[in-house]
Structures are given as C-alpha cells and as structure tokens.
Structure 1
C-alpha cells in the first residue's frame, strides 16, 4: 500500500488512518457506546489487514481510555513498536505546557510518532510555549514529530515559527474536511499548509455518517443518533434533502468501482487535495475498518473527481 510523508518529517503514513474516538469507553460527553476490548481488537486487526498502518487517538477520547485500548489492541494483533505509526493529542484546557509529555505512558510500548496540540485555546500556556515544550520532547527523543489540531492559518504560522527555532517542522494540522465541509479552501488553512509543507489530517471525513448514504436510505436512523451529535453535525431532514444529489452521485460512482458511497467520499478526499490531505475515519465494527482501508484502492478518474467537487459546492451553498 502506498504511503505519504507526514509533513516534512520523514515519517511515512498510510493515506487513510484509523481514528479511535470510538474506543473512548462510552459515558457522558461522548458520541459512542462502550466497546469491549475484544471488539476493539477485531477492529484494529481488520484495519491492519486492510493496509492501514497509522492509528490516531487522543487524551480527550475518554480521558486516556482510547489510548490504552488502542495500545492493547495493537499488541494483541502482534504488532511491535515501530511496526505502525501512532499519533495522539494533548488537551490544553486549564493546563500548562508542562503536562504535554503525559501521553507517552498511556501508549507504551508503542512510541508517539506524532504528538498534537488538540485545540488552540483554553490553555494556561501560550501556543508558543506549548510548541516549545513539544520541540523539547522531540529533542529528548521522546516523540518523533509535532502536530496541531483545529488551528487556524495564523495559529499554524505561530506554531510553525516557534518549532522552526528548534529545528523541528510542524508536521500536521488536524481539521474537519469532507465533501460537505471544505472551509480549508477559503480560510487560508489549505494555502498555508501547502506553503509550509504541512499535512492536513481530515477528521469526520464522512460527516458523521452522512456521506455513507445510510441516513438518506433509512431516515429512521437519524432519531437513533445522540442529540448532541445531530446538533453538532447538522444532521436533519432538511440537510438530508439538500445533500441527496451528492449522495446519488457518490452511489453511482461507487457502483462503477464496486465500492460504497462512503469509500468514494474518502477516495475523493485523498485524491482531490493531492498529498496534502490524509483522513482518519473512525470505526465501531470491523466492517467499518475494512471499508475505510478499501478506500485507498479506489482510483477516481479526473471526471469523477470533478463531478463530486462541483456537486459538493452546489449542495452546500
């Protein structure tokens, strides 16, 4: 399976990684039910078997539960440190940069290949101080590279400049990107990332399931989604009506490739933006992981890519 360089770090990752918010253990404040460890094991094994070699987690996913569950699943799948790429995120809310190194123990024995600042606000230390602490972890050999998440173009520049003072490149910025959310093209994030050689990691690349077509086909499923998830993602009868032409085109292209609409939506992401964008869909079943991995094998034509690009603009106006 072809890989891409993470920013200008030399770290190689699969163009599709596996997000692990679903491994957060359930409970208040999460969108997902608790998954027993054996089920997490089968999901991670399915991702590995499909060619995914990069796994993304965060402290904020269940206060470290996702990190520990992912580490256990990788070990249970027979993986050794260095066999896969692992990324995580530190939550700055109400804390100083001195706590940035706390994530390392949760993922042991797997090293932190990419350590990210989860949000650019709420911390008791400035972005520059946080970037400096990250650089010190790289210099100490405790992590391999540094990224950010939810950062604006200007905030990316700030982190990039501080890291550069220590000879460390800013590897990535993890932001929402999908066919129904293309703000990176107008807010400066895409242009800045390309200019500085930063990889953009697309989270919620399937718009919380909207781009799979399942909610369009069976609208009773919408009522089963947690209310907070519906509100944050804008899933409603009106939004399903508006996006139906795009889903229909995804399905048409999927039929031509013997794939699913969701796989085509992922393939568009890693095709349209070139090597700049990679994606981290989540999975709550082995089938979801298999589907995500399969998207890397889809070669969209220029015409198919253009049709999806044009339709996505039309349905989001």
Structure 2
C-alpha cells in the first residue's frame, strides 16, 4: 500500500513549541508545494505527530492535502500520540483533537511516540485497539520502542485480534544501532515495519558538509552541538561519503539518494524511511531515491564501510 519513502512532516510545525523550533517556519504555500511535489513523485504517505507544533503540523498537512485535490486521493496519514506525563486513558480522550487537527482525514496509522508514560505498553495498546474497533484509526504503531517493548505491544494487540504494524526509530547508514539492539531482528520476526527517521543523519549523508565544512557555521539548533559535524566527525565519515558519491555518479543520483536507496533495500521490505523536506526541490531529491536499485554487492559494501564510520 505504501511507497518505500514517506514524507516526514516535523518541519511543518510552524515554529511552535520546543519541538517545533528545531526548524525554520514554513509558509503555507511552501508546504503545499512540498506536499504536491511529493505526491506527484509517487510518495503516498505522510508522517506527522501531536507534538510537532502542538498539532500545527497536522493542520498544515491536512490543508496541503486538501489543496492538492485529486492528486491527494489515496494519500495515507500517520500521526502520533504524545505519552510523556500522561496515562493510556489520554489516547481515547485526545483522538478527537487529532481528527480535528487533521480536518477529518483518516488516521491510517496511530503511533505511541515514546515508550515513556504513566501506563504500560499493554495498557496503551488496549486503548489503541478500542480506537481501531470504533473505526477512528486503522492501524497501530509505536515509536522508539525497544525489542522487548515491541513484543509486549504486539502481544497485547494480538489479544485484541490485531497486530503491531510498525516501530518508528532512528536508523541510517551512520546510525545502525537497531541492528545490534535486537530491534531490527525482532521487527523481521514479528512482521513489523521499521519506519526510519533521520535517515540522512540531519543532512550529514548529503556530503555537502564534507565538501564545504564552512557550511557547519550556518547550522542552527541541536545539530550544531553534534560531534558528527565537528572536523573530527567529518573526517571519520569521509570514506562513506566518498563511496556514496561514486555510486551516485553510477546511478545518475546524489549521495543522499544513494543513502536512502540503501536504507529501503538493504533489509528486504522491512524498512521504510521518512526524510523531511523544507523546500520543493528537497522533495524531488527524496523521490529520485526510489527510481533505482543498487546491487546486493553495493548494498553490502556500503554496510561494511559504514560500520567503521557510524555510531557504535
């Protein structure tokens, strides 16, 4: 049902709240253009969340889909419930607000955004199951859950005649910790999709900071503090960027597209990815990653190189 890439919509937060301030404020016309470009290129699902601007991202996405008219027919929306300082009972009490913010676009996937709340994963899944049975959401997912918490969530949903369909986690060529923590293995065992956020490691895999380290000076927000953007970090990841650039030439692509291509093909059909886009040409860049497929040898080679460059 879903394209290998969706569009992450955190950047539609309109600068609201602590989470929303990570991105510059985008105007409605820009958001509409990004969504239209994504739809035209074959991206058919969009990931947002309650905490992204306190619902402003959801509203902006709904407005953009409505503005796209027939081009948005069949589009799917994933959003998330924010669990911090809440109990599972909040899931049912706040779903109406999610539907209002999304202007009654169907919620195809409703996810628990974090594994931390005042309730167990089992209690959360029971509340999610009620929403499915009431027709208010279609599928249930989680985000940032460990392998053990995934199993707990899936078991609780099975008891309700449902299954866990996804776990949204940080995953990229430069951050492969889910391969060592058991999350990826458990997802494959249970038939759970992995939705990879930060798939380009906040732009690092584009190679632009390696080519021109002066660009680091223009970084704002939390990225500026990351060791990955320091001179030593850029030097450590240079071998991976070099190989991505070589493959990009071969496939008439870019290093970013090669990195995304690895992500959606290296583990069969298990991994989907949600790169963001703050300009229409960023969306076009994402789309091109779905237009080719690297060989198995090339996928393995990138994995081997990244082992020496990524987070341990």
Q: Cα–Cα, structure 1 residues 186 and 221, in superposed 2: closer, same or farther, change >3 Å?
A: same
Note the residue ranges of structure 2 that are not aligned, 5 or more in a row.
none
Q: If the length of structure 2 is used for normalisation, what is the TM-score?
A: 0.94
Could you tell me whether the CA contact under 8 Å between 2:22 and 2:221 is conserved in 1? no
Give the superposition deviation at 1:230: 2.9
Q: Secondary structure at the match of 2:145?
A: coil
Question: 1 CA distance for matches of 2:70 and 2:149?
Answer: 36
Trace 1:113-262 onto structure 2 (pairs within 5 A).
113-121=108-116, 123-231=117-225, 234-262=228-256
Partner residue of 1:85 out of 76, 83, 93: 76
Whole-Å Cα distance in 1 between the matches of residues 210 and 34 of structure 2? Answer: 25
* 1:33-112 equivalences in 2 (<5 Å): 33-79=24-70, 83-100=74-91, 101=95, 102-112=97-107
What is the rounded CA distance, in whole Å, between the counterparts of 2:71 and 2:237 in structure 1? 43
Deviation of 1:252 after TM superposition, in Å, equals 0.5
Answer whether contact 2:49 2:58 (CA < 8 A) is retained: yes
Q: Distance in 2 between matches of 1:26 and 1:217?
A: 30
2:275 to 259, 271, 281: 281
Q: Secondary structure at the residue paired with 2:5?
A: coil
1:79, distance to aligned residue in structure 2 (A): 4.3
| Structure 2 counterpart SS, 1:184 | helix
**Aligned equivalents of 1:281 and 1:92: distance in 2?**
24
Q: Could you tell me how far apart the structure 2 residues matched to 1:288 and 1:299 are?
A: 20
2:58 alignment partner, SS class: helix
On the 8 A contact 1:13/1:53 being kept in 2, the answer is yes
TM-score (norm 1): 0.93
Provide the rounded CA distance (Å) in 1 between the counterparts of 2:210 and 2:75: 36
Report the number of matched residues.
305
The Cα of 1:228 is off from its aligned counterpart by 1.5
Q: Assess, with a 3 A threshold, how the Cα gap between structure 1 residues 229 and 27 changes in structure 2: closer, same or farther.
A: farther
Q: Secondary structure at the match of 1:129?
A: helix
**Unaligned segments of structure 1, at least 5 residues:** 1-11
Q: CA RMSD in A?
A: 1.5
Give, in whole Å, the separation in 2 of the partners of 1:81 and 1:287.
Answer: 19
**Correspondence for 1:308:** 302
